[in-house]
Structure 1
Amino acid sequence: MKKHLFVLGVCLLSLSIISCKQQNAPNTYSVIPYPNSLVPEEGSFVFNKKTKMICTLSLDSASQEVVRNFSALLNNVAGLKTECIVEEEKGEKNIVFFDLDTSIANEGYSLDIDPSKIIIKASSAAGFYYAVQSLKQLLPIAVYGDKESDSVEKWEVPCVHIDDAPRFSYRGMHLDVARHFFSVDEVKRYIDLLAMHKLNVFHWHLTDDQGWRIEIKKYPKLTEVGSIRKHTMVEKNFDQYDNTPYGGYYTQDQIRDIVNYAKERFITIIPEVDLPGHMVAALASYPSLGCTGGPYEVQGMWGVHPDVLCAGKEETYEFVTDVLSEVIELFPSRYIHIGGDECPKDRWKKCPLCQARIRKLGLKTDKEHTAEERLQSYFMTRVEKFLNENDRQIIGWDEILEGGAAPNATVMSWRGTDGGVQAAKLRHNVVMTPNTYLYFDYYQSEDTQAEPLAIGSYVPLERVYDFEPVPDTLDNDSKKYILGAQANLWTEYISDFKQVEYMLLPRLDALSEVQWTRPENKNWVNFLDRLQHNIQVYDLKGYNYGKHIFGINPEYRIIPEKHCIEVTLRTQGDAPVYYTLDGTVPTEKSTRYTQPIELTENTDLKAIVVRPGMKTNMFEKEYVFNKATARKITLNSAPNDRYTFKGGQTLVDGMIGDMGFATGRWIGFSPGDLDAVIDLGETTFISKVELGILFDKDNWIFPSDHISVLVSQDGVKYNSVADTVLVLPDQSVKNDRMIQGVAFDPVNTRYVKIKANSVKSLPAWHGAKGKPGFLFVDEINIY
């Protein structure tokens, strides 16, 4: 499967230039997520005012409600007069027949469309609901409107046979409302999008250091005090605030309304009350719950804060069980998410009560865990026991493995997939949600200047689509513990719902196919083709989405034998692309792109896509050449799994990285070191080696403290020409891209080996002192 080829010959035009009849012409088979089996048939079924919706008597009330709602929808948007009839026998013609089939998997369905009838079978109301979602995708997009459309000549669907069921039972999407608050109507709009894409779990992050968003009757100050912060940091300026109070919360009646709204769409809401860390809003409301007694203030700064719930006070456990008792009453979900992530132990180490409980419990520090980590495990186990006694299960971030996971905990693996692998091997259920693939608060495109402000990093549409939730490293017995996948949308830098939509779409389309579609049925090119239908729906519904997919999506390839970088400029459809190589702004009079471009010298490449009625961003990339650029490179040490991207090629592709360490322009090492060999292709005089290095102390990314260079004529026997110990930057140095280099007497050589150590122990001034840092490199320069 050629995953990174874009569909050619498909012209995507803006809805503003598509006529109403074209816009609502019968769709073919643009079903997302793609079904297990889809067999096209000849002809189409046409709805008219005599079409009947028929349910068998065996359908339960929930299934009949699905049919009634679909019938009402068609009547509203198509001006039909269909009615839901409950009968034992189906008619022969002009019917949509819903029939129970207990042999079909839960949430699965079959959909048969021929010119005379449509037959839908399922074993559950959810299955019928998902069948209707697929049927809607086969109808003209006006079916997604909210009133009758006069632009559709015929309400018809193409004939097809579909057999379908989801790959995973857990198909989740997360929304953080603690950092920024969203109204009831906006949350419902979010749920609508999840339902459209056949997701069945909404993970609702309701509490954090920056705000408490759920009414708890027994503790009214949680919303009176904890829901309001006096100010919020401005963009990424950690020392600048807007001095504007910010708040909001959901009443219990509002939560019940939202829970019911989701239930009608076969979505379960999993609430998250994050503990024992991320609790400053609660501490500000009830200071006695902390180790120091305060005073505490609802945080206006993002990040991890040292004040957490005191694990030594019995009062803390009473508070937690009281809060969770009310949460249980509001949310019928099997799971209650209790966070467990990013809980600093600084206060516990100094707290007499926490230390007393550690001694009483006999908790010890060993090679695997500190006594304080084991105290957190004790905390989580107590919470789990309470929830289990109330017929609920806990789910938490992968940090709950630290100190030993609570016995029945389900683990949400966010720091890559390693935590999920570890948990599955320990026979814990797992939801995969790695930040490098499924964090939707990351930038969607490399052109971050054209994107709304984001937390950083880079998760494009195709990376989401490429994610495989079940790692090959697991044996077959362990693989069954992977329940599914979830993407997360944290909102530190997302202050309005239009930006929520933008960060969600169209990545949600890719996520839905990861969660539902079996790997052998996934196809990137076909997915892009089918995506056109949903894009038109987003336009019709007024959703804000990332339009960069209509721009230029470049691909790069190093050709060492030519000492060149081959650049392929792809775009969706057959819209023309024009480019320049001298830094001037391209126009339709510039060179038209027809084949890959081979670069062999410093180049400022700019390109545009010309689409009638749609302005797309100009693509621009500068390529800087030196003696290492576009040469063969071999990595003798593997980068960190999360930051490998294109591996060694990244270091010789002539492209400089920015401050986004996960954009694909850098590769990262930790706990290992950079060890690379560059074949210059021929014997060459060299006298200096430089590395492009990222310094981002907030993310534990530091320059190297030791660089060495060795040379060889045959690639076997190497001689050292430089071995330098370097001084790390101090706390006053600002985050930036740096150059670390070593110079030496000129030497004639073909092979150059470069070694650069990652920092094994972060300096004393750093918040993670003593822990290993990351080394991120974007380019190797040889002169």
Structure 2
Amino acid sequence: MPSFPARLGAFLTTGLLLGGPAFAQQPAGPLGLVPLPREVQTSTGAYALPQKISVYAAGPAAQNVAELLKGFLAPLGKTVALTTNRQAAQIRLLTAAATPGGPEGYELVVDKSGVSISAAGGAGLFYGSQTLLQLLPPTATAAARVPYVRIADEPAFKWRGGMLDVCRHFFPVSFVKKYIDFLAAYKLNTFHWHLTDDQGWRIEIKKYPKLTQISAFRKETLIGAQQTFKTPADFKYDGTPYGGFYTQDQIREVVAYAQKRYITVVPEIEMPGHSVAILAAYPELACKPGPYETWTMWGVIDDIVCPTEPTFTFFENVLAEVCTLFPGPYVHIGGDEAPKTRWKESAAVQEIMKKEGYTDVEKVQGWFNRRIEAFLTGKGKKMIGWDEILEGGIDDKATVMSWRGEKGGIEAAQHGNDVVMSPAGYLYLDAGQNPQIHSPNEPLMIGGYLPLEKVYGYNPLPKELTPAQQKHVLGPQANLWTEYIATPAKAEYMLFPRLLAVSEVAWTPAAKKNYADFLPRLGQQFARLDAHRINYRVPEPVGLDSLSAAKQSGKAVFTLRSLVPGAQIRYTLDGLMPDETTELYTKPLAVPQGKRLLVRAVTIAPNGRKSPPAELLVK
């Protein structure tokens, strides 16, 4: 395959020979593209897309992308019609098996003849179309002008994932589709759907109707931050039954929706841990007599299914239905946080250990996993699980999702297993976005501190791995656990803008990433998020920290800026919360030193929404 510079050099030569615009290598920053493309050339000028657009699309893949473009361009005031006349089309979707860049790569050219997107297939055409959309104004305008540009692009990783937990809190199909739209817009290609857990079973299984009659519902939900409770008296509940599930028809609807957007759906069916909701409906699968109930707390519970033949029959029947619903190659079995308290007490488990020659009960989970993997292999599926599946022993066919840091992923890749990197310290987007844990200026959340910059700085390829071992790293995945996320609006608040950083971690080679370059490109995305009515977290002003202070005549001088174009910065020096009526920042802020002052500053976006405050105590 020719290098990107060689291919772009060919673009340049072709343009000059044909009398087209002269393209030159340019920084991609002014275009505001996220994730950053591999190579960009620009030229003076722009192509004006008319109100009525003809799209050339030959073949099913191109026609699918053209239909999606029709929907994407409608809010911009454009109407799209497909045409078989390539020369007359303003947008041309071109497929060729020999196109460089792999199955998801694309080449986008905008010149005086219009827009051409070339790719090997539908995925590349789709990603090229997403780049085109970012070159257009975010809202309908009389003249939608696309800058002359030539882009050659392809992803750094083939697994670029986002997970949504619908067990702790249930989300309607409409939001699940919107979540898929979020991923697709920023070139992420895997939707990990966490469908079963202690707090609720969310997928209809025809053979086991009690899973949706009983396991899908809990009697009430915990109020407040569980991790801050010290005594039993601290635990309070809302007294309101809660639950829901997706019918198999709804599952098929979501899968089809994702497929059209070149997203693979990976279902997660937790086993053997996080399974007390199963026992609420089928207590005979436990190691000790019930009764059990769908759990009303968060965290980990000792009650899990027993690894007996009835349990294997149950999961094989469940997975048989799951495999028919999800055409993708992977099924996630969880495998994490499975306490062995009940197994150690179980005569049945002791008999298994004796028969298999085990002295460590943890080995029983490895034995359990391998039996499930053999079943999935027989169904043509690959097993993936959280990194705990390493503890009981796995073969080299299982895929490991490393969440407890990178250690499990490194061990798995060194063993020859494929790996998805998903370390909690970098990619768990339910973590807080404020250095003050449980800040009163933020909604209730699970805790921790994961700022945008830390997400952006993650590199999924650990330096401990050799180049050959690094090839087992399929890519990164961000996760959204929902213990404290009960609404779509709050889910969006936790996802954005950090999901845009995730997209660049997944798509752009680490050597090309630069946080200072990312921030202005990110800033150009906020108007697009507004256009899609996404409830993103407005970033606080940058520059109000001790490292940014300049000393001048006994004062600390701060130069503030907002990441949101067109936003105001308002501030206070008396510790009160800034709003539209407090001081407007217009020049570097000089604060006297020597007495304690709490400085607070907020961003007020053009749409009127405010950021949480940036705060600094000046002494």
TM-score bracket for the superposition, by shorter chain length: 0.7 to 0.9
Q: Tell me, yes or no, if the aligned pair for 2:571 and 2:600 is still in contact at 8 Å.
A: yes
Task: Give, as a single letter, the amino acid of the residue that structure 1 aligns with 2:44.
Answer: E
Q: Tell me, yes or no, if the aligned pair for 1:579 and 1:593 is still in contact at 8 Å.
A: no
Q: Tell me, yes or no, if the aligned pair for 1:280 and 1:308 is still in contact at 8 Å.
A: yes
State the shift of 1:531 in Å: 2.0
Match of 1:53 in 2: 55
Counterpart of 1:500 (choices 491, 494, 504) is: 491
Counterpart of 1:175 (choices 164, 167, 175) is: 164
Matched, 1:242 2:231: no
State the shift of 1:536 in Å: 1.1
Q: Equivalent residue of 1:225, what SS?
A: helix
State the shift of 1:589 in Å: 5.6
Match of 1:205 in 2: 194
Match of 1:317 in 2: 312
State the shift of 1:73 in Å: 4.8
Counterpart of 1:541 (choices 505, 521, 532) is: 532
Distance 2:35 2:332 in 1: 27
Distance change (3 Å), C-alpha of 1:584 and 1:484: closer
Q: Equivalent residue of 1:153, what SS?
A: coil
Distance 1:611 1:594 in 2: 20
Task: Give, as a single letter, the amino acid of the residue that structure 2 aligns with 1:246.
Answer: Y
Task: Give, as a single letter, the amino acid of the residue that structure 2 aligns with 1:186.
Answer: F
Match of 2:84 in 1: 86
- 1:93-141: per-residue Cα shift (whole Å, max 9, x none)? 8553524252321110000111222221100111111111111111121
Distance change (3 Å), C-alpha of 1:618 and 1:387: closer
Match of 2:33 in 1: 31
Match of 1:329 in 2: 324
Q: Tell me, yes or no, if the aligned pair for 1:576 and 1:609 is still in contact at 8 Å.
A: yes
Distance change (3 Å), C-alpha of 1:117 and 1:417: same
Distance 1:580 1:224 in 2: 54
Match of 1:605 in 2: 599
Match of 2:432 in 1: 443
Distance 2:604 2:495 in 1: 26
Distance change (3 Å), C-alpha of 1:574 and 1:260: closer
Distance 2:490 2:242 in 1: 18
Distance 2:612 2:137 in 1: 30
Task: Give, as a single letter, the amino acid of the residue that structure 2 aligns with 1:69.
Answer: L
Give ranges in structure 2 of 5+ residues lacking alignment.
Answer: 1-28, 230-234
Q: Tell me, yes or no, if the aligned pair for 1:556 and 1:566 is still in contact at 8 Å.
A: no
Distance 1:60 1:590 in 2: 56
Match of 1:551 in 2: 541
State the shift of 1:610 in Å: 6.6
Match of 1:527 in 2: 518
Counterpart of 1:193 (choices 174, 182, 200) is: 182
Number of residue pairs the alignment of both structures matches:
575
Matched, 1:432 2:430: no
Distance 1:108 1:597 in 2: 51
Match of 2:129 in 1: 132
Q: Tell me, yes or no, if the aligned pair for 1:384 and 1:406 is still in contact at 8 Å.
A: no
Match of 1:344 in 2: 339
Counterpart of 1:162 (choices 151, 162, 167) is: 151
Q: Tell me, yes or no, if the aligned pair for 2:559 and 2:587 is still in contact at 8 Å.
A: no
Distance change (3 Å), C-alpha of 1:558 and 1:603: same
Match of 1:218 in 2: 207
Match of 2:217 in 1: 228
Match of 2:61 in 1: 62
Matched, 1:40 2:42: yes
State the shift of 1:76 in Å: 6.9
Task: Give, as a single letter, the amino acid of the residue that structure 1 aligns with 2:407.
Answer: D
- 1:168-219: per-residue Cα shift (whole Å, max 9, x none)? 0000000001111111111111111111111110000000000011111111
Task: Give, as a single letter, the amino acid of the residue that structure 1 aligns with 2:356.
Answer: L
Distance 1:588 1:183 in 2: 40
Matched, 1:458 2:449: yes
Which 10-residue stretch deviates more, 262-271 or 92-101? Answer: 92-101
Q: Tell me, yes or no, if the aligned pair for 2:492 and 2:536 is still in contact at 8 Å.
A: yes
Match of 1:477 in 2: 468
Match of 1:383 in 2: 372
Task: Give, as a single letter, the amino acid of the residue that structure 1 aligns with 2:314.
Answer: F
Match of 2:290 in 1: 294
Distance 1:388 1:525 in 2: 46
Q: Tell me, yes or no, if the aligned pair for 1:213 and 1:223 is still in contact at 8 Å.
A: yes
Distance 2:584 2:92 in 1: 55
Task: Give, as a single letter, the amino acid of the residue that structure 1 aligns with 2:588.
Answer: T
Distance change (3 Å), C-alpha of 1:415 and 1:598: farther
Which 10-residue stretch deviates more, 43-52 or 331-340? Answer: 43-52
Distance 1:589 1:280 in 2: 54
Which 10-residue stretch deviates more, 90-99 or 257-266? Answer: 90-99
Q: Equivalent residue of 1:110, what SS?
A: strand
TM-score (norm 2): 0.86
Q: Tell me, yes or no, if the aligned pair for 2:559 and 2:588 is still in contact at 8 Å.
A: no
Task: Give, as a single letter, the amino acid of the residue that structure 2 aligns with 1:493.
Answer: Y
Q: Tell me, yes or no, if the aligned pair for 2:215 and 2:281 is still in contact at 8 Å.
A: yes
State the shift of 1:163 in Å: 0.2
Distance change (3 Å), C-alpha of 1:475 and 1:596: farther
Distance 1:170 1:425 in 2: 19
Task: Give, as a single letter, the amino acid of the residue that structure 1 aligns with 2:274.
Answer: H
Distance 2:548 2:529 in 1: 38
Report percent identity of matched pairs: 43
Distance change (3 Å), C-alpha of 1:153 and 1:343: same
Distance 1:207 1:53 in 2: 42
Task: Give, as a single letter, the amino acid of the residue that structure 1 aligns with 2:380.
Answer: D
Q: Tell me, yes or no, if the aligned pair for 1:141 and 1:533 is still in contact at 8 Å.
A: no
Which 10-residue stretch deviates more, 464-473 or 167-176? Answer: 464-473
Task: Give, as a single letter, the amino acid of the residue that structure 2 aligns with 1:341.
Answer: D
State the shift of 1:609 in Å: 5.0
Counterpart of 2:502 (choices 494, 511, 514) is: 511
- 1:478-509: per-residue Cα shift (whole Å, max 9, x none)? 11111000000001111111111111111111
Distance change (3 Å), C-alpha of 1:115 and 1:279: same
Task: Give, as a single letter, the amino acid of the residue that structure 1 aligns with 2:289.
Answer: G
1:316-715 matches, within 5 Å, as: 316-364=311-359, 371-446=360-435, 448-547=439-538, 549-552=539-542, 554-557=544-547, 569-572=560-563, 583=575, 594=588, 603-608=597-602, 613=608, 615-622=610-617
Q: Tell me, yes or no, if the aligned pair for 1:36 and 1:517 is still in contact at 8 Å.
A: yes
Distance 2:585 2:561 in 1: 15
Q: Tell me, yes or no, if the aligned pair for 1:578 and 1:592 is still in contact at 8 Å.
A: no
Distance change (3 Å), C-alpha of 1:94 and 1:608: closer
State the shift of 1:466 in Å: 0.9
Task: Give, as a single letter, the amino acid of the residue that structure 2 aligns with 1:428.
Answer: N
State the shift of 1:50 in Å: 6.8
Task: Give, as a single letter, the amino acid of the residue that structure 2 aligns with 1:323.
Answer: V
- 1:491-532: per-residue Cα shift (whole Å, max 9, x none)? 111111111111111111111111001123222233222223
| Structure richer in helix, relative to its length | 2
State the shift of 1:30 in Å: 2.0
Distance change (3 Å), C-alpha of 1:103 and 1:243: same
Q: Tell me, yes or no, if the aligned pair for 1:100 and 1:121 is still in contact at 8 Å.
A: yes
Q: Tell me, yes or no, if the aligned pair for 1:558 and 1:565 is still in contact at 8 Å.
A: no
Distance change (3 Å), C-alpha of 1:154 and 1:568: closer
Match of 2:15 in 1: none
State the shift of 1:576 in Å: 6.9
Distance 2:36 2:475 in 1: 17
Distance 1:46 1:590 in 2: 38
Match of 1:118 in 2: 115
Distance 2:604 2:255 in 1: 45
Task: Give, as a single letter, the amino acid of the residue that structure 1 aligns with 2:186.
Answer: H
State the shift of 1:68 in Å: 3.8
Distance change (3 Å), C-alpha of 1:363 and 1:584: closer
Distance 1:611 1:199 in 2: 27
- Over the aligned positions, Cα root-mean-square deviation in angstroms equals 2.8
Distance 1:261 1:608 in 2: 39
Structure with max Cα Rg: 1
